[in-house]
Amino acid sequence: MRLFAKILKVGLVTEPLGPGDDAVVRVARAVEAKARKLLGRAVAIREVDAGSCNGCEVEITGLMSPVYDSERFGIHFVASPRHADLLLVTGPVTRNMEIPLLKTYEATPDPKVVVAVGDCAQTCGVFRGSYAVVGSVDAIIPVDVFVGGCPPEPADILRGILTALDRLPVRKGRA
């Protein structure tokens, strides 16, 4: 009861998005429209950290946070690759993650669409040459779209997802 009283006393303390963040909302709405047109529903994304420093994950998590709330735009992150329309892969592929990444890719239903997020996913970044790194994501699985940046901004990640959706065929009964 005390917690409820405190909530009522403090009131709404959420800050509105800043002036630069409206780009994220515009791109998110475009992703939603494209997913509805192609899939007839929200897009389901499976995120795989193949060995990153977690900088990209912070930005991806930001998309799911109350600030951007990507769920309201029909962008759902799923726990199983069997439910995914798209794989979002971050980091260079480490030796420990090579087999799990391949298995995740194989478990994803066709047509498989992969977005590699961050500079490390494309070039291995600062991890290049490490004994623990097998290579970039495209050295292990086919990649449809690369999103550059260290880490990329949320709007850039959404643009990569939007570009990747163009690789999906329109489902029957959709125009």
pLDDT computed for residue 16 by the predictor:
62
112 domain residue, yes or no: yes
Given a cut of 90, whether residue 145 has pLDDT beyond it is yes
pLDDT computed for residue 166 by the predictor:
87
Given a cut of 90, whether residue 5 has pLDDT beyond it is no
- pLDDT tens digit string along 71-108? 888 899 999 999 999 999 999 999 999 999 999 999 99
Question: In the sheet that 145-147 helps form, which strands lie side by side, from edge to edge?
Answer: 75-77, 43-49, 86-90, 114-117, 145-147
Place of tokens 């529903």: 41
Percent of the chain with pLDDT over 90: 58
For residue 48 the two structure tokens come to 């795989």
pLDDT computed for residue 10 by the predictor:
77
Given a cut of 90, whether residue 115 has pLDDT beyond it is yes
Percent of the chain with pLDDT over 70: 91
Number of domains in the chain: 1
- pLDDT tens digit string along 26-62? 888 898 899 888 888 889 999 999 999 999 999 999 8
* Residues spanned by the domain of 133: 42-166
4 domain residue, yes or no: no
* pLDDT greater at residue 96 or residue 69: 96
pLDDT computed for residue 86 by the predictor:
94
pTM equals 0.82
46 domain residue, yes or no: yes
153 domain residue, yes or no: yes
95 domain residue, yes or no: yes
User: Which residues have a Cβ under 8 Å from the Cβ of 77 and sit 6 or more positions away?
Assistant: 44, 45, 46, 47, 64
Sign of the dihedral defined by the CA atoms of residues 48, 54, 60, 63, in that order: positive
Given a cut of 80, whether residue 15 has pLDDT beyond it is no
21 domain residue, yes or no: no
61 domain residue, yes or no: yes
User: Which residues have a Cβ under 8 Å from the Cβ of 71 and sit 6 or more positions away?
Assistant: 64
CATH of the domain at 64: 3.40.50.12280
109 domain residue, yes or no: yes
Closest CA to 113 of 80, 147, 155, 142: 142
pLDDT computed for residue 130 by the predictor:
92
- The terminus-to-terminus CA distance of the chain in angstroms comes to 52
